[in-house]
Structure 1
Amino acid sequence: MPGEIIDRPNPPPAPSHVPDHVSDLLVKLEKPSLPEKANQALQKYRRAANYIAAAMIFLRDNVYLERDLKFEDIKPRLLGHWGTCPGLTLLYSHLNYLIKEQDLDMIYVVGPGHGAPSILANLWLEGSLGKFYAECGRDAKGLKSLITGFSTTGGFPSHINAETPGSIHEGGELGYALSVSFGAVMDNPDLIACCIIGDGESETGPTATAFHSIKYLDPAESGAVLPIIHVNGFKISERTIFGCMDDKEMAALMTGYGYQPRHAVAVSEIRRIQKAAREGKPIRKPRWPILILRTPKGWSGPKKVHGQFVEGSFHAHQVPLAAAKSEPDELRDLQTWLESYKPKELFKEDGDVVDEVKSILPTKSQRLLGQKPESYMTHYALSIPDWRKFEVKKGSSASSMKTIGNYLEQVVKDNPKTFRIFSPDEFESNKLDAVLNSTGRNMQWDQYSWGQGGRLIETLSEHQCQGFMQGYTLTGRTALFPSYEAFLDIVHSMMVQYAKFTKVLREMPWRTKLSSINYLETSTAWRQEHNGFSHQNPSFIGAVLNLKSSAARVYLPPDSNTFLSTMAHCLNSTGYVNLMVGAKQPTAVFLSPEEADAHCRAGASVWKQFSTDSGLRPDVVLVGIGTELTFEVVAAADWLRRNVPELRVRVVNVTDLLVLESNSLHPHGLDDEAFCSLFTADRPIHVNYHGYKNEIRGLLFGRPDTQRISIASYDEEGTTTTPFDMLLLNHTSRFHVAIQAVKGAAKHNEKVQLRLHELTSALTGLITETKKYIVENKSDPEYLNDVGNLKIDTASLSEG
């Protein structure tokens, strides 16, 4: 049959101009080598799965075709994607047979996510669906429940998601399956992830880059990915690029990527590569197998409808007979199509599938593709080092990222097989290089350092980092994704898709908890003055804030000790999307470890040491959120104490951004009583915020008397300039904060009101003088780094 996966012992040599490792793709074979009994069982299995998949799209009754179809047997709304299903089933059937014959440890990652009818049909046939959903047992009642409920309210959706047993990938968006597969097999030495990639999906940027993932896979410590490119030629309504390439072109492309293109499953080649590496004789630049599967789009479905070709064209992509509920001709065509699978030969009287179909299935339940423990019930908790051992002295200055790097080095030491870091090519730039004292970068392709393992993978693709992290986390481990702030938003959509998957995952009682995914955002807008406007973008904060409250967590620790406490908490947490935002340059250490721990538990607190009379009876409340922005609030309070002693100020720092939201909307949110205890019930509040002001407005919506709150934040003003000029440009400098404090305090304090014009004029003058100094000297004034007893190490301020 077209598209069969078959073994080919002793193939004839390839043409002389084709490399040996390409020859396997180009050889034409006359007959399969599988035993005839197995071939017959596989064919019958595929007929059963394809019948069920087609029935799921159309039928609301008469699911075994016990009589001729009537209009009332057809669902009122036809949803589903038929075109990819036959190819998915072909692979599913042969993989199950291969697993059974060789006792393999495999998972099946499906890139064409709308192929859910095929996957659900296969899960029903192998009994996995019934294991997790009692109403979908392998009998007449169970099959009817599956078929009639598909793509209807209360039934399975039309794409693969966390409800689908065996899945570790959200099928709603294309491009990520291959990188997720590689993340899944890292540190899983026996696991093979068979990843099917549609030829349409192969046109996406993330997939194109993911083909390079073999260069980061260490065969000594990790499993293997078997990519399978499913070429059926068409997308929704257009040809695919791969579908327009012939075998030689496909072979040349995949050979260039570093693969051995094949038409047959090459588990023996995977084992050869792994064996060599594990015996200390790794193969330089190993060429992993990749499969090319060509099948017609909508294979075995209607050949023509109303004179138009359907099978082998884009018309087969979704519902080939979209008018089957209203047009007699299409209803008859549907009857003919379903009968072509000969369902009476496939099912027993009780509705179960015949034993011949079951004969190809693995006998061990944990080997079934829908019941792999790694896909739903595996979680390894990290050993979390005591962060206090890495504390920084209060009153000193330190880079939060250098401090965190020291801590992460210990995390790597304590968790050598369950923790990885996936980073764009920015790791040392972000001052995290202490990790490299105890581990290397994992690179398998460099001609000088090939075979080098390590806990850090650096690749200049945020999509790859996200995909690796997802696969690694969804199979039970913990990962960290550090990045320049401006470019983390590249994976916004991937992060949202993952959050949707885990939202549904938490609702499935048969799925275990998972570690949180952890983003470390540094090289922030406020210290990207040397790289300029293009590198100034804090928008990923808003992307995380838009998630469900059960997932969203955003932290902006103000110094090294609070960052240590936050990192330990995030790595130990489960089920969240954690975003940590901080500075890599030296900044003031405001809190002792004990104070930092208490501050992080509360999420926000009054900083009495920088407030008037420990914050009692303030005229105005100044709030700092973010490292540099908090320093400016502290500096403003210092200026006010020295120049406006009659003004009473309370300084508040927020480290857990979501405490600002109401406790009715987020579990970390403050109730109104706690909110007023921090921010007062009636005094003016000025917020100096790291990100965009609309994020704060949204979080504060519904709080009492919000008209008293003013917000300064990143305002899309930036260029290549100095650090302090970035603050001036966005009206977040200490002088701007002090102006807002004076204006707010004047509403309640007559002494301040008398001096309002005098003080605002003086501060405006300081802004003008400082701007002039920066223009003339191309640097910030030295005194800006000295605030009370807090002094920053100015020697490091210009580091990239």
Structure 2
Amino acid sequence: MSADTQQAPLEITDEEVRALDAHWRAANYLAVGQIYLMANPLLAEPLRPEHVKPRLLGHWGTSPGLNLVHTHLNRVIKARGQDALCVWGPGHGGPAVLANSWLEGTYTQTYPDVTRDAAGMERLFKQFSFPGGVPSHVAPETPGSIHEGGELGYSLSHAYGAALDNPDLLVACVIGDGEAETGPLAASWHSNKFLDPVHDGAVLPILHLNGYKIANPTVLARLPEPELDELLRGYGHVPIHVAGDDPEAVHRAMAHAMDTALDHIALIQSTAREEGVAERARWPLIVLRTPKGWTGPAEVDGLPVEGTWRSHQVPLSAVRDNPQHLRQLEDWLRSYRPRELFDEHGSPRPLVLDCVPEGARRLGATPHANGGLLLRELPLPPLERYAVPVDKPGVTTHEPTRVLGSLLEHVMHDTAGRRDFRVVGPDETESNRLQAVYSASGKAWQAGTLTVDEHLDRHGRVMEILSEHTCQGWLEGYLLTGRSGLFSCYEAFAHIVDSMVNQHIKWLRVTRRLPWRAPIASLNYLLTSHVWRQDHNGFSHQDPGFVDHVLNKSPEVVRVYLPPDANTLLSVADHALRSRDYVNVIVAGKQPCFDWLSMEQARAHCARGAGIWDWAGTEGGTREPDVVLAAAGDVPTQEVLAAAQLLRRHLPDLTVRVVNVVDLARLLPHEEHPHGMSDFEYDGLFTTDKPVIFAYHGYPWLIHRLAYRRAGHPQLHVRGYKEIGTTTTPFDMVVRNDLDRYRLVMDVIDRVPGLAVRAAPVRQSMEDARLRHHDWIREHGTDLPEVADWTWAG
């Protein structure tokens, strides 16, 4: 064991070792029992096949190491009066964390029917990976958890997110050696360059190396210790190594490592807080090497198990049918000497609970793992203060995200004292026109600085790192522990976190069904630099499909908004920042965009989610429309209004209705989504039998999927992004994808009965305009003047 620290902690006594070992053995016993047993939990009688579950599910291999960590965290939390949270990275370590929650009593407090006695132990065992029970991994149902077992690779970024603006909190993070091979985890090691020892808490990574994944060795476990040590020091940590398979020796070494690490953390924090030291801290890290499946069967059917990949899941797989396996299981369970650990009623004996802290300091009871209990309302200002004036639609322009940036600056300023709001993004805050926030807070940064740097701040609350995974993990950890924030990202690269948002949505869906979980602030995405204005970066930056991914998920959780201008963006953002337990995706441009609605109109339109823009159509309230022009998104809205203007000019007898959709879920039936429209509402808006030409921001088939059950669906024709892109002019992007105003007019002529012949000259002129555009941009490199200088003239 090694560490760069000032003074070695005192050795623990033999009595403390006995207590720690008793707790650890009890947790191991409970972990094995959960995987195998459905009756006879205390082995009050010889084990019989009917005591064993018919389907054996779960993961044993990582559990003994997790139990060791939990046991030793208990010790230092109790001894130091430390507020702590633990993020359990190894995906399927559920048996261990559930076992410890039951031992400390929080499981019974949360689920009173799972009592801390023999009857409750039997329920604990049977429910594990059992129909109607609980998952095999750490899940929302697990007290003290903020990290789903399936979120492989995100543990460390979650831990840092939890520590931000939590100055008194220790966040331990157990990183499995399989997880350590993932890209998200590799990037998140750099989070220590953003942790402020003055205003943030501490993260203690515990790299648990047991050598194997499901069937293969792990990279870090096979590195020689000096090489691994150099790697971790290169990441900016001070490694403390603990290794072995002798329980007493490992307990002593682990206790020493924990004390060394916490003393080091205390020194870093006191030095920064009391002396104002500005050097970047080198935080401690524990490397724990223990055998995979430690204390389990050494050999099964003549093959080695303990210390190999064979212990990963269920070491004894045929217990009901194989008498030898049944005997091995009973010997294995009795090896923990359960009568020493539990009394005749099945309750843990005092020695087992000697290291367990009390009340909210228990890892399963910390309010930081149930962040809604700590959440405060954001001080959002009146929107009128930041609204842009709109006397007439389509005359003035603003950059919507720049307008939003002023609102976010206000929120950042007004949360400066309480520090519970952050803006994160992969090096894109200024690029996305949100730089107004720098007036209230700079960019968090603990590494070196140069004179040319701007807005770097050791105490900043704007988080930028060129890793979407790390940004997402930080913000998730921040939200799950009771704070609020916004994730700003280029639209095309939001896909990088597809799996992460999927897991967060699943988490929220489950927590909505757990009355003890308090609602947390929503995860809010602002996707900008979007597909239609990536004409300069080109095809690689053109992908609007994140919306499709999100709308596949749980309808009670997901919301997607496409505000068409600055004031509607303000209204949508205000709603999203106030909301709870949602994932809100907002797609809005950063380039100059026409102002269509006043603030009052924007509020009403956003509340409806979809509505008729009377001023843009030619209905006049006298008869049904001949055609409906619909739009969702800022660029599609502009093209639809330009098309409506052309139709008014060239086909004045045609009755046109213009519909704008802000809330995409409004297109779904109300039985499928809480925001969905009834058939009555939908038919009133879009009609049942008139052509609907729908200009959509993303892939056109999504609109068809949302509306396929509607009566008017056969009349629905959608234009959107068709995966045709390049480096070109802004208008050429819409032309290439047939979303342009001229194509939309042609669509109307093609689909309204009677126009094909009567309006043939108009259609030809539209086609000519597209050809003229083609030649113009290749000669001049800019869009046609009639496009570039277009305004809404009514």
TM-score (norm 1): 0.93
CA-CA distance at 1:218 after TM superposition:
0.8
Q: Does 1:366 align with 2:367?
A: no
Which sits farther off after the overlay, 219-228 or 411-420? 411-420
- Of 410, 420, 423, the residue aligned with 1:421 is 423
Question: Structure 1 residue 245: deviation in Å?
Answer: 1.3
SS of residue in 1 equivalent to 2:119: helix
Runs (4+) of structure 1 moved beyond 6 Å? none
Which residue number corresponds to residue 68 of structure 1?
A: 46
**One-letter amino acid matched to 1:368:** R
211, 215, 231: which one aligns with 2:189: 211
Q: SS at 1:509's partner residue? A: coil
1:233 equivalenced with 2:211 (yes/no): yes
1:21 maps onto 2:8 in alignment: no
| Contact residue 682 and residue 705 of structure 1 kept, 8 A | yes
Match in the other structure for 2:738? 731
Letter aligned with residue 680 of structure 2: E
Who is 2:326 aligned against?
A: 331
- Pick from 617, 621, 626 the counterpart of residue 628 of structure 2: 621
TM-fit CA distance, 1:71: 1.5
How many correspondences in the alignment? 764
1:177-256 aligned at under 5 Å gives the runs: 177-256=155-234
How far the C-alpha of 1:283 sits from its partner, in A, is: 4.3
Aligned to 2:252: none
Alignment check: 8 A CA contact 1:284 1:451 kept: no
1:31-110 superposed matches below 5 A: 33-110=11-88
Which SS does the other structure have where 2:443 is aligned?
coil
Aligned to 1:556: 562
Deviation at 1:705, TM superposition (A): 2.8
Q: Which amino acid aligns with 2:402?
A: K
Map of 1:662 onto structure 2: 669
Q: Deviations over 1:482-529 (max 9, x none)?
A: 000000010011000011111111111111011100000000010001
CA contact (8 A) 1:195 1:225 kept: yes
C-alpha distance in 2 between matches for 1:280 and 1:736: 67
Structure 1, gaps ≥5 residues long: 1-7, 12-19, 792-800
1:312 alignment partner in structure 2: 307
Q: CA deviation at 1:782?
A: 2.0
1:292-344 deviations in Å (ceiling 9; x for gaps): 00100000000111121111100010000011111111111111111111111
Alpha-carbon distance change, 617 to 787 in structure 1, aligned in 2, over 3 angstroms? farther
Cα separation, 1, equivalents of 2:284 and 2:780: 60
Deviations 1:661-696 (A, max 9, x none): 111111111111111221123211010000111210
SS at match of 2:113: helix
Q: Which residue of 2 aligns with 1:397?
A: 397
The residue matched to 1:21 in structure 2 has which SS?
Answer: coil
Q: For residue 446 of structure 2, what is the amino acid of its counterpart?
A: Q
Structure 2 alignment gaps of length 5 or more? 242-256
| Superposition CA RMSD, Å | 1.7
| Matched-pair contact (CA < 8 Å) for 1:441–1:455 | yes
- Distance in 2, matches of 1:32 and 1:84, equals 29
Q: Write the letter of the residue equivalent to 2:385.
A: K
Residue 639 of structure 2: aligned partner = 632
Q: Give the structure 1 partner of residue 445 of structure 2.
A: 443
Matches for 1:527-542 after TM superposition, within 5 Å:
527-542=533-548
CA contact (8 A) 1:159 1:171 kept: yes
Aligned to 2:768: 765
Deviation at 1:562, TM superposition (A): 0.4
Establish whether residue 379 from structure 1 lines up as the match of residue 375 from structure 2.
Answer: yes
Note if 1:641 corresponds to 2:643.
Answer: no
Paired residue secondary structure (1:507):
coil
Confirm or deny: 8 A CA contact 1:297 1:311 kept in the other structure: yes
* Identity, % of aligned positions: 45
Partner of 2:249: none
CA contact 2:633–2:696 (8 Å) conserved in 1: yes
Moved more, 468-477 or 59-68: 59-68
Find the aligned partners of 1:304 and 1:672 in 2 and give their Cα distance.
Answer: 64
The answer to which of 175-184 and 375-384 deviates more is: 375-384
Secondary structure class of the residue paired with 2:351: helix
Equivalent pair of 2:26/2:341 in contact (CA under 8 Å) = yes
Question: What SS does structure 2 have at the residue aligned with 1:662?
Answer: coil
Structure 2 contact 641–792 (Cα < 8 Å) conserved: no
Alignment correspondent of 1:777: 780
Separation of aligned partners in 2, 1:183 and 1:161 = 18
Q: Distance in 1 between matches of 2:346 and 2:411?
A: 53
Determine the C-alpha separation between the residues in 2 that align with 1:569 and 1:509: 24
Distance in 2, Cα, partners of 1:22 & 1:96: 23
Residue identity in the other structure for 1:189: P
Instruction: Say if 1:22 and 1:255, in contact at 8 Å, map to a contact too.
Output: no
Q: In 1, are the aligned partners of 2:443 and 2:457 still within 8 Å (CA)?
A: no
TM-score (norm 2): 0.94
Q: Specify the code of the residue in structure 2 equivalent to 1:738.
A: V
Equivalent residue letter for 2:120: G
Measured in 2, the distance between the counterparts of 1:579 and 1:189 equals: 31
Please list, as runs of the form range in 1=range in 2, the aligned pairs for 1:508-523 lying within 5 A after superposition.
508-523=514-529
CA contact (8 A) 2:530 2:588 kept: yes
Whether the aligned pair in 1 keeps the contact of 2:690 and 2:712 (CA below 8 Å) is no
Q: Matched residues in 1 for 2:384 and 2:677: separation?
A: 27
Structure 1 position 788, deviation (Å): 4.5
1:280 Cα shift?
Answer: 5.0
Secondary structure at 2:269 match in 1: helix
- Matched letter for residue 4 of structure 2: H
- Mapping of 1:258-337 within 5 angstroms? 258-263=236-241, 264-265=257-258, 266-337=261-332
Separation in structure 1 between the aligned mates of residue 530 and residue 275 of structure 2, nearest angstrom: 43
Higher mean displacement: 306-315 or 269-278: 269-278
Aligned to 1:16: none
How far does residue 387 in structure 1 lie from its aligned partner after superposition?
A: 1.5
Please say if 1:588 is aligned against 2:622. no
Correspondence for 2:244: none
Structure 1 contact 485–521 (Cα < 8 Å) conserved: yes
Q: CA–CA distance in 2 between the matches of 1:280 and 1:54?
A: 49
Paired position in structure 2 for 1:795 = none
- Residue 543 of structure 1 pairs with residue 549 of structure 2: yes
Post-superposition offset of 1:430: 1.0
